[in-house]
Amino acid sequence: MLKFTGLVLLTALFFVACNNQQPKEFVVQPRDTTITVKNAYNDLFLDSAAMEDYIAKQSLGDTLAQRIRSFYNSRNYQFAWFDSSGVAEYAGSFLNAQSQYILYSKDSSLYNEDLQQLHDSLTSDSSKYQVPSKKRLGTELALTTQFFRYAFKAYVGDSSINLQDLGWFIPRKKTDMTGLLDSLISNKGKNMENYEPLNKQYNLLKEQLLKYYGYQKEGEWDSIAITKKFYKIGDTSAAIAKIKHRLFLTGDAEKDDTTTVFDTTLLAAVKHFQRRYGLKEDGAIGNDLLKEINRPIQQRIEQLLINMERMRWLPGNTDQDYLLVNIPAYRLYVYEKGQLAWSMNVVVGSIAHSTVIFNGQMKYIVFSPYWNVPNSIVRKEIMPALQRNPNYLARNNMERYNGGIRQKPGPRNSLGLVKFLFPNSYNIYLHDTPSKGLFNEASRAFSHGCIRLAEPKRLAEYLLRKDTAWTEEKITAAMNAGKEKYVTLNPTVPVVIGYFTAWVDNEGKLNFRDDIYGHDKKLAEKMFTKK
């Protein structure tokens, strides 16, 4: 069973209300006059007028200018990047982190030639390099400006990207940039990963990205062709040797085997690869497997960068209970105290009825539910069926109700025996289904937008596990009572409906999935298209 690394991180998401309110105007901190030359860690202070002159000459945007003012107000204009001996050591730590970010993200917009020269000088021999006194103020303010620019890029993501244009309705995380810089200073640049506002999954994907850059540099990613429909145990082919080598590179095979025979070791490697890519684990080498193996290395690199960008939008790890549905994985992940407890297969919306990406709070369990048929389905499907067969409603256990149509509770109900509600404007919820066969399919995008669960009773038992009034027997009885019953969850449980086509699971394995709704393609156009 594939597992999403506490991934997700995502999820303090839920603790932010899903709304479209405009961000509040940045509030500049008042000047802290308690900091003086006598109690400051150094005796270097800058002049506020000189800072304002720098801001004006650099034509800094309002928000960035306000952050700089706020940062220095909180320090009473004490220098941050210098002390009496010269450039502070953590300046090198920051510049090194920025250089690493530029290297793996391929984002050259942060490159600053003057600060790069400073970085090179500090790296070559920090004991000898001194910034000339006439350049000290400019270097100080340049470092602060650059840190805020870097922090936005590396920790928040490209602010020019409108998430809702991409069908993403989970609010961006909020990040205290000034607090980050204070942490860098107070920790002297040590152990930056301990206070960076990045979830664990981001750094796991970054590690994989660096591996793929290595594969690209080695130039061992040529397309592999096969001469028959599929290969199985015992078959021999030159292509099999190439596949063995590719599976060794991707970590699916433990040894680099150059023989041309399809043996049991290759069978295990093929199944391992199929599991990571969400393919049917039949151990056969056919078109589905070759399609994934032969995707260009640059396409995989971009897929990793796209999902890392999404991870920047999300808060860090959480120690709370929550549910995560990853649409491209067709899977629901259940987290208890921030740790993956278990997961199950789900069916999500078809391409024509795509499931919305958003977050909410699970509030109700509804046993033996009615299905209030959406007007769109009534108009497009039920009314034409009624014209062909006037007994359609009776045959499908439906009735007219409050000007609409609903299906009565029971085993034939389209929602099955239980549904789970997290109130939202998209009318999306989790539910059981009488159609169990679809859960065995590798691709499971078949619904009208709601999410069908392979193990609904197990989820009900989990959500009610702390309520002694709800035993397994009572849950089973309520599901089969044929009478609708609402149960309110207290406390509510955060739910995230996410979209991730690349992630690292709890076993440290990199997973890829198809871009079933085209969201990767849209984001790629914004990230990689040259303007």
Contact between 460 and 476 (Cβ < 8 Å): no
In a 3-state reduction of DSSP, which class is residue 422?
coil
Rounded distance between C-alpha atoms, residue 487 and residue 522, angstroms: 40
Could you give the residue ranges of the DSSP H alpha helices within 264-351? 264-276, 287-293, 297-312
Contact between 170 and 13 (Cβ < 8 Å): yes
Q: Is 322 exposed, middle or buried (0-12, 13-18, 19+ CB in 10 A)?
A: buried
Rounded distance between C-alpha atoms, residue 469 and residue 384, angstroms: 45
Which is catalytic among the residues 119, 272, 450, 519?
450
Question: CB within 8 A of 85, min separation 6: which ones?
Answer: none
Question: CB within 8 A of 438, min separation 6: which ones?
Answer: 347, 444, 446, 452
Please give the C-alpha separations between residue 504 and each of 3, 214, 414, 507, in angstroms, as whole numbers. Answer: 8, 18, 34, 8
Please give the C-alpha separations between residue 510 and each of 49, 170, 205, 520, in angstroms, as whole numbers. Answer: 52, 24, 8, 17
Contact between 359 and 396 (Cβ < 8 Å): no
Q: What is the DSSP letter of 362?
A: E
User: How many whole angstroms from its chain centre is CA 417?
Assistant: 31
Asked about 431 being catalytic, the answer comes back as: yes
Asked about 450 being catalytic, the answer comes back as: yes
Which amino acid, one-letter code, is at 290?
Answer: L
Which is catalytic among the residues 18, 431, 448, 519?
431
Active-site residue list: 431, 450
